[in-house]
Chains A and B, each alone.
Chain A
Amino acid sequence: MFIADYSAKNIYDEMFSSEGYPRKSYDFVKTKMESLGGIELVKRSSSAERALMSLGITFTLYGDGGEQERIMPFDVIPRIVPSEEWVSLEKGLKQRIQALNLFLTDIYSEGKILKDKIIPRDLIESSSGYLKQCIGLKPPKDIWIHITGTDLVRDGAGAFHVLEDNLRCPSGVSYVLENREVMKRTFPELFEKLNIRQVYDYPYHLRSMLENLTDAIDPVIAVWTPGVFNSAYYEHSFLAQKMGVYLVEGSDLVVENHKIYMKTTKGLRKVDVIYRRIDDTFMDQTTFRPDSLLGVKGIFEAFKRGNVALANAPGTGVADDKVIYSYVPKIIKYYLGEDPIIPNVPTYLCSEEADLKYVLDNIHNLVVKAANGAGGYGMIIGPKASKQEQEDFKKLVKADPRNYIAQPVLNLSTVPTLIADKIESRHVDLRPFILYGKDIYVMPGGLTRVALRKGSLVVNSSQGGGSKDTWVLG
């Protein structure tokens, strides 16, 4: 059953070559899964689901049938990244983060890259992630982006490309760690045989990266969550627990004399480092949005004075603006004098007249996205949209060209996936997590997101996507 019905034609499949042979890295997994057989696979899959339910790794759906608690869809067939490919991805990601960090330092201080006319100044200043309040800011150790989740995809020929950078509050790393635990229970025999690079030490790397941001001895560290109703709350508490640090909400914090304190049973206690999982402009009502219900008044000033370290630093959003994204290869060249190791996906900027014309004429062949959209919102996949939807989206683009980019529709690679009791091919992307502390650490693997609907290219969990464990071998 395993291979007979599976077809991966006209596409780059992670497990099978176009001739239908398993790739070398998948050899053992494929043989093992076949010998287990379909019934055993389904059985193990449902026991993995039960484990996730017991662990409470769920989200709640509200609908006609009342409240329903579901687990994040999880597929038991792993996605494997061969080690030789991983070596180059790791180098490429480090290169990218380094360059983006230098870029942030530059544009919030001298702005050399703007003076040298590599990037038009107005693109920076019109970016919603660009915060005037951060001009002249010097974050601890000159690091702005401490935690990054970079989305990678393969093109039809199997080459990896960066689809987008997530430099503000990238989520999903808790699923990587939990998926791995469940996979170890589900297929112990695979783990015994294969040399799968472990990921369980990520929280330790995260913690030591955070400790690096302060000179305080025995620093007090906290993860700042918007609260229990946030969709990533599970991850926030997971990370705080695994690191052994506090999990705080805005209402737990207070500023006195430009220092941050949290309210404890023994009175106020100073906080040295905050890993914030809350958007820039919601952090502080006095500096940013006065209507924020989640913020702490005065925290930005405390940060500016060096009394608290924030990870990621406010202001990083400008570097993951999808328009700025298209300049990243130039940014890498400018600051490091190197060619990018992982290429971008070709991108049309609607702010450029020629590009705009092309986009409007070819919208049926393109993916068009808002420069600051996320979670699969504010975008259109041309070939899948109706004529009317295309026309409507064109109007949006024409009204605000600066805010839109377009890319060719990528035929994302596929991985065999258990759908009910059959193996079918589903599209995936990959989000590795990168930590910038004393050194740059790249977690081996990352979150593989799966578009569970047949033929769909949308992998976002908010749009019904699922995930797979990602294995880097050797």
Chain B
Amino acid sequence: MLSRVAESVFWMNRYIERAENYSRFIDVNHQLSLDLNEDVPNQWLPLVHTTGDIELFEKRYSAPTPVNVIRFMTFDEENPNSIFQCLSRARENARTIRENISTSMWEVLNEFYLFVKDYRKVYLESAELHGDTLSMGLSEFLSTVRKSCQSFYGCSDATISHDEVWNFSLLGRFLERADKTTRILDMKYFILLPSVHDVGSTLDLLQWLSLLKSASAHEMYNQKYKRVDPKDIAEFLILNETFPRSIFFCLQEMQDALEKISGIKEGLPRNLAQDATTVYLNRLRSENINSIFDKGLHEYLDDIQIELNHIGSKIVERFFTN
């Protein structure tokens, strides 16, 4: 396939995955805030830290109020990572590779984009009139976003050949997902607990639980572990081999996709993107959660993000520029 097309397919999937993750982040935080009776300061700021867009946020908004954070992450057109911008870019990428995807995929994505665009218009108008728009069907909107992402994935799975286009889709999707999982885990780092004896408190547990929910992982986690425990949660989201949002799982999928892209037959030259993925996957295999916590979870997560960026840049070098 054309290098340009491979790049667009890759990014189209990254943006969709990003939109899906953002919608879950916001929704879980929103639900959490409804559960907390007391006023928890800075409930919303960690969310912005998590996305890595804190500088832009502070430039555009005076305070991390719920309305501001939600608006920044959903509809802000100056935020290149807002759900609206992700959808616009995913659709623009899809438009440039229309001939490589099925009509039903395009239709799902196009209708999805039109839905977000229309909702955004209503939301912004209402925000202007009433100021507080939190109650304006936010959960329903976010849930539709997630469902639309799922139907896009389902539709791609069922309507295009599982050849190169498909494998570059997986590469984009799982690279983005691995990155977002590290950020979800890191969210706890940015939540400043009021005091030391709050560790293990109801609030603490609620927050850990909400991390699991942010990764749609609480149900599968509950099947495997008996209680909500930071170490178990981190283990599940980093090292689990079968849960589709764990870092390990994502890297494995990327390795498979890269293998298929370069040809599974033996003797074919491997490439640097493949090497980088395998090296990191082997490292994950040799690790356990205690060694990770000894190093410090936040530092460890930083490290993963650097590795993911490295793999990403190898993919760009090998396939997109020539």
**A→B interface (CB under 8 Å):** 53-56, 223, 228, 233-234, 237-238, 240-241, 245-249, 251-252, 262-265, 267
Contact = CB atoms under 8 A, between A and B. Distances in A.
B98 A264 contact: no
B163 to A, nearest CB: 11
Contact of B98 (A238, A248, A252): A238
B4 A249 contact: yes
A237 B98 contact: yes
Contacts of A240: 99
| Complex A-B, nearest 9 residue pairs according to Cβ-Cβ distance, in ascending order | A241-B99, A240-B99, A237-B98, A56-B110, A265-B319, A247-B99, A237-B99, A265-B6, A263-B3
Contacts of B168: 265
B110 A252 contact: no
Q: Tell me if A's interface is mostly helix, strand, loop or mixed.
A: mixed
A54 B3 contact: no
B107 A54 contact: yes
Contacts of B164: 265
B37 interface: no
- Give the contact-size bracket for chain B: 20 to 34
Nearest to B110: A56
Given A241-B100, A245-B99, A252-B4, 17 more contacts: A53-B114, A54-B110, A54-B111, A55-B103, A55-B110, A56-B106, A234-B98, A237-B96, A237-B99, A238-B98, A238-B99, A241-B98, A241-B99, A246-B2, A248-B2, A263-B322, A265-B168
Contact of B95 (A53, A54, A228): A228
A55 B107 contact: yes
Nearest to A239: B99
Interface string B1-22: 1111010000000000000000
Nearest to B4: A252
Interface of B: 1-4, 6, 92, 95-96, 98-100, 103, 106-107, 110-111, 114, 164, 168, 261, 319, 322
Contacts of B100: 241
A265 B9 CA distance: 12
A12 B4 CA distance: 51
- Residue of B99, B111, B114 with most chain A CB atoms under a 10 A cut-off: B99
Contact of B1 (A54, A234, A238, A265): A265
22 contacts: A54-B114, A55-B103, A55-B107, A56-B95, A228-B92, A237-B99, A238-B98, A241-B98, A241-B100, A246-B2, A247-B99, A248-B2, A249-B4, A252-B3, A263-B3, A263-B4, A265-B2, A265-B3, A265-B6, A265-B168, A265-B261, A265-B319
A264 B3 contact: yes
Contacts of A251: 4
Contacts of B2: 246, 248, 252, 262-265
Contacts of B95: 56, 228, 233, 237
Nearest to B106: A56
A248 B322 CA distance: 15
A416 to B, nearest CB: 31
Contacts of A267: 322
A54 B103 CA distance: 10
Contacts of B322: 263, 267
A60 B2 CA distance: 27
B313 to A, nearest CB: 16
A240 B114 CA distance: 25
A48 to B, nearest CB: 15
A180 to B, nearest CB: 15
A264 B320 CA distance: 8
